[in-house]
Chains A and B, each alone.
Chain A
Amino acid sequence: MEGSVPASYQEVFRTDKGVVYQCDKTNRLILSFWGSHTPLSARDFAQFRRMVETVNIHQMALSTDAADDVEILTLPRSERCYVLTLCEVIHLRELLSGANLMLELNSMLRECGCATLSGNV
């Protein structure tokens, strides 16, 4: 599904449903989910993560309304959107929050003057 990725992509976090890479050449985070690679700036990535975090999954789970079966999330400043079922929202959450944890760890290492993380370089 992923095939080969450019050499400049460093893996930040991986689940069995997707991967988040970072590209230091273009300063982008690349969300690889549902078979597509989406490069996002740090700001758009943070905004999208918050969008995914604030999806009302209880309503999705409990409501019988057809409109609540899927959640449509538009990626910031992109034509692309995800139409996600409850399970997929949870998978995406897991991927994005895991990636965020690794990015925070990288920040902490930089702040205390330690060497930052290096991915699969």
Chain B
Amino acid sequence: MKDLERLRTLIKEPVELVLNQQIQMELVSSSKYLAMAGWCDRNGYDHSAGFFYKQSEEEREHAMKLFHYLCDQGAIAYTPEIPAVPQEFDGLRSVFETVLEQEITVTDSINRIIGVCRREGDYATEELMKWYVKEQVEEEYIARRCLELIDQIPADQIYYLDKKLASVTYDENPFDEA
């Protein structure tokens, strides 16, 4: 008897399920960052606002990468429901604390997906997820570095702090190919 499911797609159902959950998580991240961008924008943190607008776009791209992968490989990608996200924050520090927590949640989720890929013997999807692993190392670094800067820069130098936060990059990422 033919294996019709295998002819349809290389992605097995448990992997399809967790990838769809990841699409949802990335789009929730995108929505959270957009809310942070809005909060920064209306509170005068222009540079941080710019940083979060860009970040929001990036998270959407992360979701779309998975969405296209599922569709291209014959699996089903679902458009997820996005719940309401927080719109107000106590200050810049609380914004960046939320960022770090969100990125840690994403990293944990990526790691779980790789576990599922290994269990199902899906080495193609595991290979794709490696890109996300590296991405998360960078995202967590940036969030931690921003929190450090908030501690290091005196509270009255808000303009300087805002500018500094938006310029944090991870240049020494050991996973980047030189």
A residues at B contact (CB < 8 Å):
10, 12, 22, 24, 27, 29, 41-43, 46-47, 103, 106-107, 110-111, 116-119
Pick from A46, A47, A116: contact of B1, CB below 8 A. A116
CA A41 – CA B9 in complex, angstroms?
12
- Other 4 A-B pairs with CB < 8 A, given A22-B4, A46-B76: A24-B1, A107-B5, A107-B6, A111-B121
CB contacts between A and B, total, < 8 Å: 42
A110 to B5, Cβ gap below 8 A? Answer: no
Please name the residue on chain B nearest to A119 by beta carbon.
Answer: B1
Interface size on B, residues (CB 8 A): 13
The DSSP consensus for interface residues of chain A is mixed
Chain A residues contacting B121 (CB-CB under 8 Å) are 111
Shortest C-beta distance, B106 to chain A (Å), equals: 26
Please name the residue on chain A nearest to B74 by beta carbon.
Answer: A43
Shortest C-beta distance, A80 to chain B (Å), equals: 20
CA A116 – CA B6 in complex, angstroms?
13
CA A103 – CA B3 in complex, angstroms?
7
A107 to B3, Cβ gap below 8 A? Answer: yes
**If A43-B8, A46-B13, A111-B121 touch, does A106 touch B3 (CB 8 Å cutoff)?**
yes
CA A56 – CA B10 in complex, angstroms?
30
Chain B residues contacting A118 (CB-CB under 8 Å) are 1
B4 to A29, Cβ gap below 8 A? Answer: yes
B2 to A24, Cβ gap below 8 A? Answer: yes
Please name the residue on chain B nearest to A104 by beta carbon.
Answer: B5
Q: Residue B155 at the A interface, CB < 8 A?
A: no
Q: Residue B178 at the A interface, CB < 8 A?
A: no
Q: Residue B7 at the A interface, CB < 8 A?
A: yes
Please name the residue on chain A nearest to B75 by beta carbon.
Answer: A43
Chain B residues contacting A12 (CB-CB under 8 Å) are 1
Shortest C-beta distance, A46 to chain B (Å), equals: 7
A42 to B1, Cβ gap below 8 A? Answer: no
Please name the residue on chain B nearest to A28 by beta carbon.
Answer: B4
User: Per-residue 0/1 for B1-24: is the Cβ within 8 Å of any A Cβ (1 yes, 0 no)?
Assistant: 111111111000100000000000
